[in-house]
């Protein structure tokens, strides 16, 4: 994702702040991706080329497949809930192909070149103040150790948490459940005072100019343990 495209993404979050302020949303929300219209509540955001997201209703109870060919685009769902009260998020995901990072040199290339992941789940905290926008980004990375926390190369207020690591479970459905409230504290050093304004998913390969394939299902947000 280029810096210009990333800034446009942050501007979208500012818009989300206004929309979420005006509306309330039922909780918890569950997205099984088992109906043809399952993406009606999700918005597609294209940053570089288009990742093919497809609802597979007839397979394994329904899921969302994602195939990226040198592309960066995601799906975003607007919501509003306070993680102090309803801190949990859960989902299942499967990776069938990781981005090819073999050509990236650790000596000459930086985090931007490495910032491609087969599967990402975002939890976004909007703000009217541009520099106060924050996001937790759960990733499945091929190499980084599980529970590693790193900072996005684009913006210091985006923290990446390695929810799953390695190739051992490739091709298998893996269930994740995370406490957003506690993860925010680990990532930013304090508990969140604001609300979650959106969640998003993304499979991207625009930096490595390679391909990746992943699937998502049973996303559930805004509930207590």
Report the CATH number that the domain containing residue 135 is assigned in CATH: 2.60.120.260
Task: Give percent above pLDDT 90 in the chain.
Answer: 67
Determine the Cα–Cα distance for residues 140 and 171; give it in Å rounded to an integer: 13
- pLDDT, tens digit, 9 for 90 and up, residues 41-73: 999 988 889 999 999 998 888 999 999 999 989
* pLDDT tier at 107, thresholds 50, 70, 90: very low
Work out the pLDDT band at 153, boundaries 50, 70, 90: confident
Count of domains forming the chain: 1
- pLDDT band at residue 225, thresholds of 50, 70 and 90? confident
Edge-first strand order for the sheet with 149-151 is 43-48, 72-81, 196-202, 119-125, 134-141, 158-165, 149-151
C-alpha span between 184 and 194 (Å, rounded) = 11
Q: For the segment 184-220, what is each residue's pLDDT rounded down to a tens digit?
A: 999 999 999 999 999 999 999 988 899 999 999 999 9
Work out the angle at residue 198's Cα, subtended by the Cα atoms of residues 196 and 203, and round it to the nearest 5 degrees. 130
CA distance 216 to 218: 7
Q: Which two tokens stand for residue 14?
A: 């500012």
Residue 107 sits in which domain range? 3-223
pLDDT of residue 58: 85
pTM above 0.75, yes or no: yes
pLDDT for the residue 133: 86
**Model pLDDT, residue 114:** 76
Name the average pLDDT for the chain: 87
Q: Please, which pLDDT band fits residue 167 given cuts at 50, 70 and 90?
A: very high
Q: What is the pLDDT at residue 108?
A: 43
């Amino acid at each position: 994702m280029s810096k210009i495209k990333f800034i446009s993404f942050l501007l979208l979050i500012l818009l989300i702040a206004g929309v979420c302020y005006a509306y309330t949303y039922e909780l918890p929300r569950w997205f099984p991706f088992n109906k043809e219209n399952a993406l009606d509540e999700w918005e597609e955001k294209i940053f570089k080329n288009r990742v093919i997201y497809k609802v597979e209703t007839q397979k394994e109870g329904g899921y969302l497949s994602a195939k990226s060919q040198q592309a960066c685009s995601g799906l975003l769902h607007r919501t509003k809930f306070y993680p102090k009260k309803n801190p949990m998020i859960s989902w299942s995901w499967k990776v069938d192909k990781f981005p090819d990072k073999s050509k990236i040199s650790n000596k000459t290339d930086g985090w931007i070149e490495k910032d491609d992941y087969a599967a990402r789940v975002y939890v976004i905290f909007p703000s009217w103040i541009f520099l106060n926008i924050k996001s937790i980004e759960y990733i499945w990375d091929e190499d980084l150790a599980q529970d590693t926390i790193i900072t996005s190369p684009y913006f210091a207020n985006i923290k990446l948490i390695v929810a799953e690591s390695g190739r051992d479970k490739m091709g298998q459905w893996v269930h994740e459940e995370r406490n957003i409230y506690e993860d925010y504290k680990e990532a930013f050093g304090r508990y969140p005072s604001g609300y979650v304004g959106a969640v998003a998913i993304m499979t991207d390969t625009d930096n490595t100019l390679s391909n990746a394939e992943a699937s998502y299902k049973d996303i559930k947000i805004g509930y207590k343990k």
